[in-house]
Amino acid sequence: MKHTLSGKTRLFAVIGDPISHTASPKMHNAAYLELGIDACYVAFKVDSDNVQKALDGIRTLGIGGINVTVPHKEAALPFLDEIDPLANAIGAVNTIINHDGKLKGYNTDGLGFILSLQEDKQYHVAGKTIAILGCGGSAKAIAYTLLLAKPAKLLLLNRTLSKAQTLAAQLPPVTTIESHPLDQTDILKNCDLIINTTSVGLAPNLDDSPISDFSWAHEGQLVVDIIYNPPQTAFLRQAKAKGADTHNGAGMLAGQGMLAFEKFTGQSIPYSFFLKTLLSQ
């Protein structure tokens, strides 16, 4: 099927820096075509000094909505007219909807992560003991969202312990939350779900891993890396060798995109469509 652009075509976009690697246009444009939606999705490289101007441009040009990626997810907040409570708690947005010139920010990253666990692994986090490695922006989005799904316990492990302690103190005290140094890997033995949110292992550093000891890993655990390039990081490879089930970050990317698509268009499309499109050449 072919899509002809017209004077009525709605525009959506992603902003970030760098941005040329983004898979978002591929996923969203494929979904417009699939559902016959007269819309087009493009990528804009916006440098950090120009976030406010870019958001004013969204209002001025009547762009329907945007995704926001690194490094603007936190920086965009002060320039929005309204912020969804979850995004406000996380302190970052990845999706902005333009309601007649009023911009409302959302965060679908953590929800996309949980959706991918449910869809790809039939995994539910309620009652589980969960460890998050790393305490940056992605960890924060995942931690806040996981807590909505009622895990039994949340362990935050970070190279810089003070950052884990700060995040632990910020999170809503809905369950037991502990902070530990990243090398205290023995505690991972009693965890059901272990998530790497650090960027260690990202291509081209295929042999790097945030931790070197994997004696804790065993069958029955689910070990996740939010990295999807490479599809199997050294972290996942070593956990798998010890019998753990593993899952990469492609599903989180597809999930956050699908949830943003629903907000942009008001229409629904299966998560599997976004994942299939992301993984297609």
Catalytic residue numbers read: 73
Which residue is it, tokens 């907000």? 263
CB 244 within 8 A of CB 222: yes
Residues near ligand ATR (CB under 6 A), total: 16
CB 44 within 8 A of CB 14: yes
Per-residue x/- marks for ligand ATR, 141-160, CB under 6 A? Answer: -----------------xxx
* CA torsion, ordered 171, 174, 179, 185, to nearest 10 deg: -130
Chain residue whose CB lies nearest ligand ATR? 136
Is 197 one of the binding residues for ligand ATR (CB under 6 A)? yes
Is 198 one of the binding residues for ligand ATR (CB under 6 A)? yes
Please say which residue, 33 or 171, places its beta carbon nearer to ligand ATR: 171
CB 69 within 8 A of CB 90: no
Please say which residue, 145 or 277, places its beta carbon nearer to ligand ATR: 145
Is 134 one of the binding residues for ligand ATR (CB under 6 A)? yes
Is 68 one of the binding residues for ligand ATR (CB under 6 A)? no
Which residue is it, tokens 């920086």? 75
Is 125 one of the binding residues for ligand ATR (CB under 6 A)? no
| Nearest one of 54, 57, 1 to 29, comparing CA atoms | 1
Tell me whether the omega of the peptide bond preceding residue 210 falls within 30 degrees of 0, making it cis: no
Q: Which residues bind ligand ATR (CB under 6 A)?
A: 134-139, 158-160, 163, 182, 197-200, 210
